[in-house]
Amino acid sequence: MANPKNPFFPLFHPRSVAVIGASGNPLKMGYQCVQSLKQCSFPGPIYPVHPQEKEILGLPAYTDVRQIRGRVDLAMLVVPAAEIFPALEACRKKGTGGIVIITAGFREIDDPKGEHLQKELSAFANRHGIKIIGPNTFGVANLHANLNASFTPSFSRLEKGPISLVSQSGGVAHLIVHQAFDEGVGLGKIVGLGNRCNVDFADLLPYLAEDKETRCIILFVEGQDDPRALLSAIKNTVPFKPVVAMKAGQSAESARAARSHTGSLAGRYEIYDAALRQAGGIVSQDPGELLDIAKILTILEPVKGKSVAIMTFQAGPGILLTDAVIRSGLSMAVLSEKTQERINRFLPPFTIRTNPVDMAFAHSEEAFDETARCLLDDRNVDALIVFLLHHPFMNITGIVGPLLRQKQKSSKPVILCANAPRGFIEDEVTEFEKGGIPVYPQPERAIRALKGLFAYGEIRERERRREGGAGSREQGAEI
């Protein structure tokens, strides 16, 4: 359980939640916020607040937050910008420690009044010790606490898991969440920073670094007013947990869009990219890759490496995997003479027995088992990727036993790239991933994930050398 004295406790572990601006209209965000809390089976009281409604979604409604008799740890504000400060003052008097402001109309708008309003908002929050997520946000969720304080009820149906996601963009966060839905990847905490009133990446990273429910952190960054604080926070986090980051705004046009979206100072992408890597972040190029890398980092231990061995039941995908390996900067392992001799003995001569190893005409479980064992035993191999295209002649059930068995005997990463129509192999995928073998449907995704695992292995090794006497270095890049 998190420390109740931590200032972020009311945001992630509230004992009660009020929705100020709740609505009985399903087309209103205030309705969806109440729905999110109910569908997530939030264990504490939910207090809808609306000046006219008597009941919302079966819950008694209050005309004012001060009418609520019980304590209010967390408040969600879904009222017009002009009503934000009266609502904040009411929450302050109620002793509310955490606030999520869904409302837009602050520094993201092309009007100096928005910037001024947000400065007042930040001053109020800091003066009274209140942590605010937003404004201009979808909200926050902590699935381990059955908390979905967002305007997206479907978050409540996500698998609970060890990946925490912090994003400046609500849209990108939803892209990642929808992928997690489709692929059964578990998430823990989901935070939409929005305009970052007084909670930013650098504030949340120390909390997540100590959070026992979080094993990997995803960051989607549009821009920063104080990039050095972000880099320092990443640097202090990566010795304990991997940070997978993506910086938006690679072009001048998208940088301008980022500024108008959340009022972010985008900065030059190339400098951000280099600085994030220097700080120890694993830098990604698209949202899907963020989740792919985070998944492998929660299933496998980080290792250093570069050389990859491939087993495939179809030659074409093996070639695609080989291209992806080289394109990523990794290398195809050169098998030792001993390994090659062993493989030659039990695979038929009309198969390709070098790397990638083509198993197309070797359908026996014994041949698969022996080949996997030989490759994992080879000192020239740092990781093994197996590709299987689902077909009645090459069913995934035939490799579950031998591949899991070989994985248990080896400390090297084993990844399965398995492709099938939806609904055909989901049970087997779950079995593999519970057994320590991450599964990806496409060659490129499997390789990018493996490269991320190797990258964190290098980062951990670098941190160990630094702890051994190299000392810390100042961040060298100006953003």
CA angle at residue 46 from 42 to 48, to 5 degrees?
140
pLDDT at 473: 42
Residue 440 included in any domain: yes
- Mean pLDDT computed over 252-267: 54
Distance CA 152, CA 439 (A): 28
254 vs 18 pLDDT, higher one: 18
pLDDT at 367: 86
**What would the DSSP string read from start to end of 22-53?**
--S-TTSHHHHHHHHHHHTT-SS-EEEE-SS-
Is residue 394 scored above 80 in pLDDT? no
| Domain count of the fold of the chain | 2
Digit-coded pLDDT (tens) for 296-311: 999 999 999 999 999 9
Query: Residue 408: exposed, middle, or buried by beta-carbon count in 10 A (0-12, 13-18, 19+)?
Result: exposed
Residue 346 included in any domain: yes
pLDDT at 257: 56
Residue 75 included in any domain: yes
Among 126, 157, 188, residue at a domain's last position? 157
276: amino acid identity, one letter:
L
pLDDT at 318: 93
The phi, psi pair for 200, rounded to 5°, reads -125, 180
Among 142, 157, 172, residue at a domain's last position? 157
Is residue 478 scored above 50 in pLDDT? no
Digit-coded pLDDT (tens) for 205-234: 999 999 999 999 999 999 898 999 999 999
Distance CA 260, CA 343 (A): 59
- Give the residue among 131, 118, 46 at the shortest CA–CA distance from 81: 118
Distance CA 151, CA 353 (A): 54
**Through-space distance between the first and last CA atoms of the chain, rounded to whole angstroms:** 38
Q: Tokens representing 293?
A: 């890398």
Lowest mean pLDDT: which of 142-156, 198-212, 314-328, 456-470?
456-470
Residue 476 included in any domain: no
**What would the DSSP string read from start to end of 409-432?**
H--S-EEEEEE--TTSSHHHHHHH
Sign (positive or negative) of CA dihedral 103, 105, 109, 114: negative
Distance CA 97, CA 73 (A): 6
Digit-coded pLDDT (tens) for 35-93: 999 999 999 999 999 999 999 999 999 999 999 999 999 999 999 998 999 999 999 99
Is residue 475 scored above 80 in pLDDT? no
Q: What is the domain-level CATH number for residue 364?
A: 3.40.50.261
Among 157, 187, 220, residue at a domain's last position? 157
Residue 477 included in any domain: no
Lowest mean pLDDT: which of 11-25, 161-175, 338-352?
338-352
Residue 478 included in any domain: no
E strands in 89-232: 98-101, 131-133, 139-142, 147-150, 160-167, 187-192, 216-221
Is residue 241 scored above 60 in pLDDT? yes
Q: Is 170 left (phi over 0), alpha (psi -120 to 50) or beta?
A: alpha
Distance CA 33, CA 139 (A): 9
- Mean pLDDT computed over 325-346: 94
Q: What is the domain-level CATH number for residue 22?
A: 3.40.50.720
Is residue 461 scored above 50 in pLDDT? yes
Quote the pTM value: 0.93
Is residue 353 scored above 80 in pLDDT? no
pLDDT at 185: 97
Contacts (Cβ under 8 Å, ≥6 apart) of 256: 266
Q: Measured between alpha carbons, how far is residue 165 from residues 50, 137, 205 in Å?
A: 31, 14, 11
Distance CA 479, CA 476 (A): 10
Which range among 100-114, 120-134, 349-363 has the greatest average pLDDT?
120-134
- For residues 437 and 383, is the Cβ–Cβ distance under 8 A? no
SS3 string, 325-383, reads HHHCCCEECCCCHHHHHHHHHHCCCCCCCCCCEECCCCCCHHHHHHHHHHHHHCCCCCE
* Domain containing residue 395: 302-459
Across the chain, mean pLDDT equals 91
Residue 207 included in any domain: no
Label the pairing between strands 282-283 and 331-332: unpaired
- Mean pLDDT computed over 186-207: 97
Distance CA 479, CA 264 (A): 13
Contacts (Cβ under 8 Å, ≥6 apart) of 252: none
Q: Tokens representing 164?
A: 């925490």
Residue 425 included in any domain: yes
The owner of tokens 């985008």 is 266
Distance CA 63, CA 102 (A): 19
pLDDT band at 1 (very low <50, low <70, confident <90, very high): low
- Mean pLDDT computed over 155-171: 97
Is residue 363 scored above 70 in pLDDT? no
